[in-house]
Structure formats: structure tokens, C-alpha cells
Structure 1
Amino acid sequence: MRLRQVCLVAENLEPTLETLGTLLDAEVCYRDPGISFFGLENGLFPVGTDFLEVVAPVREDTAASRHLARRGEGGYMLIMQCEDGVGAREHALAQGAQAVWQTDEKGIHATHFHPRSVPGAIVSLDSMEENEGDPGPGRRWDWAGPDWRGQLRDNGVL
């Protein structure tokens, strides 16, 4: 299991991305339109072959909004890449963890677990089947979009 993506939550996305981009000497590699499902907007930075993500709520009724009200800006979610997302999910559930979202589509097996289960942050256990001829470096990571490898820089690790 590998920590592949660290997610921060911020009140205002753009100024936070600008500051982090300057500090990391990096550009946002992807903005995922799919996270609007969770009432969020985001931006991801590649850090080595891992990722730093910042999310911000675009609605009041989101887990991120509640997190900001309770704890303020900062750490929000850890996304772990594992070989077997289904097996990792089943193991966590057997240990009493509470899943709050999961998907098993397009070769992706991912589960978000409630922060009370961990505790402290949302943890996601994700696996992605490799695509035929998938180029390196790094393994498939759809959460960073289709072109993240083109923005790789050896500017650090998470």
C-alpha cells in the first residue's frame, strides 16, 4: 500500500493553489470535473509521481464544508494506492470501518472511509487496473487526469 495523494481543504481554492504552486514550483496538472458530485472543486499538483490536491466546497451541504467549520483549513483526505482495492475494502469493513462512498467502474476500485473510522481524515483505499501499454513512470492514477505524466518534475516527494 502506498500513499499516493494527500488532499487539503481550503475555503478559497484559487489563492491556495497559487500559493502552493509558487512553493512547489509546480503547475496544476488537473482539475477533476467529477468531484462536483461531492460539491467540490479542486486542483492537483504532481509531486514526484504522487499528488497534492486542494479541494474547496462549492456548496454548503458538503462534508468539506462541515470539516472547514469544525477544523478549518488543512488536511482533509489521504488516498492510498493498493494492489487490491476490493480486498482492502473488505478487510477494512471487517474491522468495523464505515464506508461512505465506493466505486467499481472502469478498472477502478475505490472506497472512502468515514473519518471516525480512521480517525481524523477521510481515507480512501484505491486500486486501478493497469492499461495495456500504460507508459511509466508511475502507475495508472486516473484521479490526476490523462496527462499528468507530461508535467512530472523531480521537485520533491510527499
Structure 2
Amino acid sequence: MFHRLRQICLVARDLDPVVAELCDVFGVAVCHRDPEVGMFGLHNALMPLGHGFIEVVAPLAPGKAAAAERHLDRRGGDGGYMVITDTDDLARWEPHLAATGVRIAAPLEMGAYRGLQLHPRDTGGALLEINTTRGNTGPDGAAIDAPYGPAGPDWQAHIRTGTVTAITGARLQAADPERLGRRWAEILRRDLRPESDGWALDLDNARIRFEPDRDGRGEGLGGVDLAVADEAGLRRRAAARFLPVADDHVVIGGVRFHIGG
């Protein structure tokens, strides 16, 4: 059995500028725009960072995407929205989620892909999704480069690793990081441990950290950890776009992307 961090989703008022910044600064390319998200009043773009994905969603028009627009209003603009994981078998998760008092906000199905989007009031921190792709399982789990429905039919051809090689973690901020961390550890069935500046749990390929509110925007997905091959180039392109650049991160779409994880 495996359980991996597969995708991070940002929400923006305006899709194209944030996508352009991500593609330029990280040296990546859009692999898919999914028409299915139109049912939620959204449009989107996905970019592979190694074998993980950054997705950006935005309302198609004002008043068309109530949940996303509430999130934008609550957190004061563009920012982190969803943490998306993949696993080998959703059937074993459904009774566990019910036992821990987590409602399914949206069941998703598209071909061989099936996902469970969890209710954020029951998880705290961010929207959390667990998904699987039928046929991509085996004794050692699904190959990381196997088909993955949300990313389109040929996402592997769009991988660019000259600047960023992988997503290595997500950072959730809260007034009480320990409480949030314990809730996510219960839901994800992972052990929570203390760190110098908060708490953390490990998935098979990534770390989820729980930290104090670092930007005054309240509880939410505040940061993403990256493995980087060309830090100098990344910093140079971020500065050329007048994006905030700090010692250990750059800010794009309201999210702190931590360089080096």
C-alpha cells in the first residue's frame, strides 16, 4: 500500500498571470486544462514539477464559484487551496473517514480515476483529497509515471526538471499547529512528531508540516517545499518579475515556495 503527496492546488482570482509566473520561474509547462472543473464554476491549469503537480484554479466569472470565492475572501486573495494525495485503494479509506467524522464534500470519478474530496470543516487547514487510479496498483504500488487522470493523457511529455525536480512537502499554518497536525495525522493514519518550529507527518514521498500563522492570513495552506536544481536561475527569474524573494523561499500566487524543501 502507498500514500503519496501528488498535487498541490492554488486558487487565484485571475488564472493566467499566476500560471505564467509559475511556468517562467520554475521552468515548467502546462500539461492539461481540465474542462471537468467547469462544473464547479472554475477553470484551471496543471503543471508537472517532476512527477508531482501544481494546479491553479480560478473562478470562470464573479459569482460562478462560491466555494473558491469564499476561500479567496477569507484568506485575503490568492493562495493555497488543496492538498491532493494518491493511494492504491480508496475502499479501505471510506469506513475510516466515516469513523473519524470526516464528510465527503465531493466524490469524483473520471474514467479510471476516483477521488474523495474531504469537507474542510472536518479536516481544518485546507481542502484534502485522496484519490486512486484503477489499474495502477501492484505489489509495490503504482508507478509514479503511470496514467493520472487529472493531469491529462500525455502529462509525462511535459515534465521539465532543469529548475525544479520535485515537490517534497506542504506547509499548513494555524493558530494551533499541534491541534491541526493531530487532526490530519488521525485522518491520514500517520504519526505526528514535533519539529523545531512546529509539527510534521510523513507520507511516502513528502512531509506535511504544521506551523504557526506566518503571514497573518489565518489558517490555510501557506507553503510548498521544492527540490531545486537551479536555485540561482529560479531566484533571478522571480526577481525579474518583481515577486517576493526571501532567503529560503519565493512567493507566487500567495504561496511561499520553499527552495530545497
Task: Tell me the distance in 2 between the aligned counterparts of 1:47 and 1:58.
Answer: 25
Q: Do the aligned partners of 2:28 and 2:159 also contact (CA within 8 Å) in 1?
A: no
Q: Post-superposition shift, 1:105? A: 5.3
Q: Do the aligned partners of 1:130 and 1:139 also contact (CA within 8 Å) in 2?
A: no
Following TM superposition, where does structure 1 have runs of at least 4 consecutive aligned residues deviating by more than 4 angstroms? none
Q: Post-superposition shift, 1:78? A: 0.9
Q: For residue 23 of structure 1, what is the amino acid of its counterpart?
A: V
Equivalent pairs counted in the alignment come to: 154
Which residue in the other structure is 1:113 paired with?
118
Q: TM-score, normalised by structure 2?
A: 0.56
Q: Post-superposition shift, 1:31? A: 0.3
Task: Tell me the distance in 1 between the aligned counterparts of 2:93 and 2:144.
Answer: 24
Task: Tell me the distance in 2 between the aligned counterparts of 1:45 and 1:99.
Answer: 26
Structure 1 127/137 Cα, relative in aligned 2: closer, same or farther at 3 Å? closer
Instruction: Establish whether residue 147 from structure 1 lines up as the match of residue 154 from structure 2.
Output: yes
Q: How does 1:6-155 map to 2 (within 5 A)?
A: 6-59=8-61, 60=63, 61-71=65-75, 72-104=77-109, 106-130=111-135, 138-154=145-161, 155=164
Gap runs ≥5 in structure 1: none
Q: Do the aligned partners of 1:7 and 1:53 also contact (CA within 8 Å) in 2?
A: yes
Using CA pairs under 8 Å that are at least 6 residues apart, name the structure with larger relative contact order, 1 or 2. 1
Q: Give the number of the structure whose residues are more often helix, by fraction.
A: 1
Q: For residue 69 of structure 1, what is the amino acid of its counterpart?
A: D
Larger Rg: 1 or 2?
Answer: 2
Q: Post-superposition shift, 1:153? A: 2.3
Q: Do the aligned partners of 1:130 and 1:140 also contact (CA within 8 Å) in 2?
A: no
Q: Post-superposition shift, 1:90? A: 2.7
Root-mean-square deviation (Å): 1.6
